[in-house]
Amino acid sequence: MQLNQFIDHTLLKPTATPEDIESLCKEAIAHQFIAVCIPPSYLKHAKSVLKDSNVKLATVIGFPLGAMTTEAKVFEAKDALANGADEIDMVINIGMLKGGEANYVENEIAEIKKAIGSKILKVIIETCYLTDAEKEAACEAALNANADFVKTSTGFGTGGATFEDVDLMKRIAGDKMQIKASGGIKDRETAIKYLELGVSRLGTSSGIKLVTSEEN
């Protein structure tokens, strides 16, 4: 199986330098990954490196805690588009969801989707902090708000993607919304299992290893 067109080649650690981002973009071009996922401050630099390639440019909004105001997230999303982003990975307000304020979460997602129009919106629900009922509520909020994807994790929480969570998310998303699994995907076998469960994107910093390791 060709994994490269499912991979968002990701570098979000706080110590990432401009040189690191440039290397990431060159790796994405070399391995024909579908996208890179980087911090917003590096979008212009990354755009210049990716300009003659088919690699899409994704960035993160309200990252990694999700607790900013809706207005701040909307501004951040518009700013990201102005700087060349093709796709937005946003973090929901986790505390609001856990407090029973699913409408707040849905409205916030809808505001960001409205702000970015036809650009891809991926909604990070940070599954490690949620009960199954909360995961379902988060997925329903994303679906109702016309998000393009629902995504498991930031990679900065207490846990990453799990097969069980993806299964649950797929039950809500059906074929109306795509799923991105991220956090802890470090080997080819795990990646393939996620794709078999219905995931259409993999967020990972181990992309090169996934595509260069020999098939069993």
Which residues are registered as beta bridge partners of 181?
202
| pLDDT tens string 108-158 | 999 999 999 999 999 999 999 999 999 999 999 999 999 999 999 999 999
Can you tell me the distance from the alpha carbon of 186 to that of 165, in angstroms, rounded to the nearest whole number? 17
Closest CA relative to residue 56, chosen from 201, 198, 209: 201
**Residues identified as active-site:** 89, 151, 180
The pTM of the whole model exceeds 0.85: yes
Beta-bridge partners for 41: none
pLDDT at 215 over 70: no
Alpha carbons 9 and 28: distance in angstroms, whole number: 7
pLDDT of residue 213: 87
Domains of the chain with bracketed CATH: 4-212 (3.20.20.70)
Q: Looking only at Cα atoms, what is the longest distance across the chain?
A: 48
Q: How does pLDDT run across 167-189, given as a tens digit for each residue?
A: 999 999 999 999 999 999 999 99
Mean pLDDT of the chain: 97
- Residue 180 is predicted with a pLDDT of 98
Nearest to 60 by CA among 121, 131, 103, 143: 121
pLDDT for 1 equals 81
Q: Convert the pLDDT of each residue in 39-50 to its tens digit.
A: 999 999 999 999
- What integer pLDDT is reported at residue 214 of this predicted model? 64
Please compute the mean of the pLDDT values over residues 19-25 and round it to a whole number: 98
Q: Is the pLDDT at 107 greater than 80, yes or no? A: yes
